[in-house]
Amino acid sequence: MKLTTKTTLMLATLALLAGQAQAQTKAVPLQGVSANEITLGSIQDLSGPLAGFGKQARQGMLLAVDEINEQGGINGRKLKIIVEDSGYDPKKAVLAAQKLVNQDKIFMMMGHIGTSQNLAAMPVQFEKNVINFFPITAAREMYDPFDRLKYAFAATYFDQMRQAVPKLAKEKGAKKVCTLYQDDDFGLEVFKGGEAGLKTIGMDYAEKTTYKRGATDFSSQVAKLQSSGCDMVVLGTIIRETIGTIGTARKLGYNPIFIGSSAAYTDLIHKLGGKAMDGLYATMTVQNPYTEGLTPQLQFWANKYKTKFNDDATVFSVYGYVIINTFANAATKAGKNLTTDSFIKVMDSLTLPTDIFGSAPASFSPTKRLGSNASRLSQIQDGKWKAISEYYSDVEPDAAKPAAKPAAKK
């Protein structure tokens, strides 16, 4: 009789514990994934100095989301994307990340724009196991030091400049290479890449000058470069800083070789800066989809984009579109049971061929979280960007390599 009572109590206790465990499982569903929806988040600059980029990236994402949903979604789940504005301010990026992660309960952060902004927001995401997927910045910290929740797609500013600057300097016979860069994480990466590249040809920067994020007057910096006799200038600049620097130089009759990173590779440079921007070089990973001379497939895409947004597609539109579609590719392969772990398992063996936009092939592994470090050199000629080199890439980023030291916060 005692044995029966003890057994009964034991079975009752086990049943109670099982019921509690089941109830707990039901009470804590996977963040951002429901039976019929996947919620994604993105932080863009929609009101600050990169608002042009942010608008374009957002539209590219929305076009991809609409197309995917029209085709039935991902394994029966529709996509929902919530875009917040950082104004290109790291502090606002943290607030936006807190809202998306803790209030909106996003499954993944997509295409967050800006180096300092990503660095500020990532701790908020990682605390809740939210992947930082394909941020729109080419800083090394987007994949290095290694973290299982980091995936990057853009050839780094460091490698872009490390490879392009010495090639251009030798080709043009530059005697004094100098630099003007934004005084933050982004600018420092461009600076360091150019510096490393110059060392391979026995050169160093002859002059260095910086500006604060949000600056609009570059006369003192340009005067410093001119007085130093710089005949080539490496620009760690984005939109208005690139235009302001070159425009000021042209007015002074100062015409060195200017080269920027992919951050300066945008149609906004020549649209807003006009003829003075002709001659500017920049590295890039995807060519701007101008409306003429496109393949039929790309022309169809550009027309669809134009119809939806009454706006011409740009390279940042392409970034947004590709980011969402790459996510969809991996999430589909992860199957109906989509989790952070199942997504990572797919990504860690994913290979991406070149696409309709001419992107370089990319691949990932458990230790390789940057898809490709290949970039090309382009130049503004007669008011439009023209590719003047093939893709070049001489290193494979891997977590086994020494981690990049975090850039100093300014």
| Per-residue confidence in pLDDT tens, the chain, 410 aa | 444 544 444 444 444 444 444 434 333 468 999 999 999 999 999 999 999 999 999 999 999 999 999 999 999 999 999 999 999 999 999 999 999 999 999 999 999 999 999 999 999 999 999 999 999 999 999 999 999 999 999 899 999 999 999 999 999 999 999 999 999 999 999 999 999 999 999 999 999 999 998 899 999 999 999 999 999 999 999 999 999 999 999 999 999 999 999 999 999 999 999 999 999 999 999 989 988 888 899 999 999 999 999 999 999 999 999 999 999 999 999 999 999 999 999 999 999 999 999 899 999 999 999 999 999 999 999 999 999 999 987 544 443 343 444 444 33
* 158-284: CATH, from 3.30.70.360, 3.10.180.10, 3.30.530.20, 3.40.50.2300: 3.40.50.2300
- Residue 137 sits at the vertex; the CA angle it makes with 319 and 301, to the nearest 5 degrees, is 5
Residue position matching structure tokens 């994307």: 81
Cβ-contact 180, 245 below 8 angstroms: yes
Reported as half-sphere exposure (CB side, CA atoms, 13 A), residue 276 has a value of 17
Helix (H, G, I), strand (E, B) or coil at 181: strand
CA 50 to chain centre: 13
Cβ-contact 90, 117 below 8 angstroms: yes
Q: How far apart are CA 267 and CA 205, in angstroms?
A: 29
Residues 6+ apart with CB under 8 A from 406: 119, 141
- CATH superfamily to which 37-155+294-373 belongs: Response regulator (3.40.50.2300)
User: Would 37-155+294-373 and 158-284 be classified into the same CATH topology?
Assistant: yes
| Environment class of 93 (CB within 10 Å of its CB; exposed 0-12, middle 13-18, buried 19+) | buried
Domain ranges of the chain: 37-155+294-373, 158-284
Other CB atoms within 10 Å distance of the CB of residue 29: 11
Q: What is the largest CA-CA distance in the chain?
A: 104
Residue position matching structure tokens 């724009």: 113
Q: How far apart are CA 352 and CA 24, in angstroms?
A: 39
Cβ-contact 334, 346 below 8 angstroms: yes
Q: How far apart are CA 355 and CA 369, in angstroms?
A: 19
Q: How far apart are CA 253 and CA 164, in angstroms?
A: 26
